[in-house]
Homo-oligomer: A and B are copies of this chain.
Amino acid sequence: MHDGATKPRVLLVEDDRELAGMLAELLADEGYETDAAHDGQRGLHLGLTGRYDVMIIDRRLPVLDGLELLARLRAQAVTTRVLVLSALGELADRVGGLDAGADDYLVKPFEAEELLARLRALGRRDLEGAECLPLGAAALDLQRHEVVLPRGERITLSGREFELLRTLAQRPKAIHPRASLRTNVFADSTGESIVDTYVYYLRRKLGRDVVRTVHGLGYQLGAV
């Protein structure tokens, strides 16, 4: 399950299985946790249901084309950074990709190093390449699943507590509806109040103000 939950998670959508395998190995060495899909349909499914820090999407895909996939994801308000791979280097395609909502564009063949550099850049853009997410005056240690208080005290979180807080902290100003938290953090578990329960746990450990309730809309990150 979520063994290395602290690792940045990558969704790789690439139909060339040999290339996909190499990339997966490369990414694993680099400390990423990778899910792979070999066609657009599957990619869409994973992209909508999983939580990823970055996505790498090939432009040409069977079943559902890469740009089409990207557009669909964006239509569903998936804001994850996306790096599009393409065998076509022409300007037109490049523009098309960026138009469709890609954050970066890489032309095949490419150096492994360049891919990694671009991934890091995307991560940095998202403040996720960092080891910690800011939490008001405190910080969330992504490696250790701990909250570091200003005075240096550490409070360890369980896996789910961590996932929830991390999700909130990734977009600190956003209001996160229960439904999306339930989907992203709790894999649509059947209980209706699972999110409430974990908000309760977080508040019990970190104080009432970690999470703010926006009545009727959802939850938002507060301050510790």
Q: Give A residues with C-beta under 8 Å from B.
A: 2-6, 22, 25-26, 29, 41, 44-45, 48-49, 63-64, 68, 111-113, 143-145, 156, 158-159, 175, 177-179, 214-218
Contacts and interface: CB of A to CB of B under 8 A. Distances in A.
Contacts of A48: 29
Nearest to A2: B216
Contact of A158 (B63, B112, B177, B216): B216
Contacts of A113: 64, 68
A127 to B, nearest CB: 21
Contact of A29 (B22, B45, B216): B45
23 contacts: A2-B216, A3-B177, A3-B179, A3-B217, A3-B218, A4-B217, A5-B216, A25-B41, A26-B41, A29-B45, A29-B48, A29-B49, A41-B112, A63-B111, A64-B113, A68-B113, A143-B175, A144-B175, A144-B214, A145-B214, A158-B215, A158-B216, A159-B216
Contact of A6 (B6, B44, B156, B217): B217
Report copies per complex: 2
B112 A64 contact: yes
A112 B216 CA distance: 32
Nearest to A1: B216
A175 B175 CA distance: 32
Contacts of A144: 175, 214, 217
B5 A145 contact: no
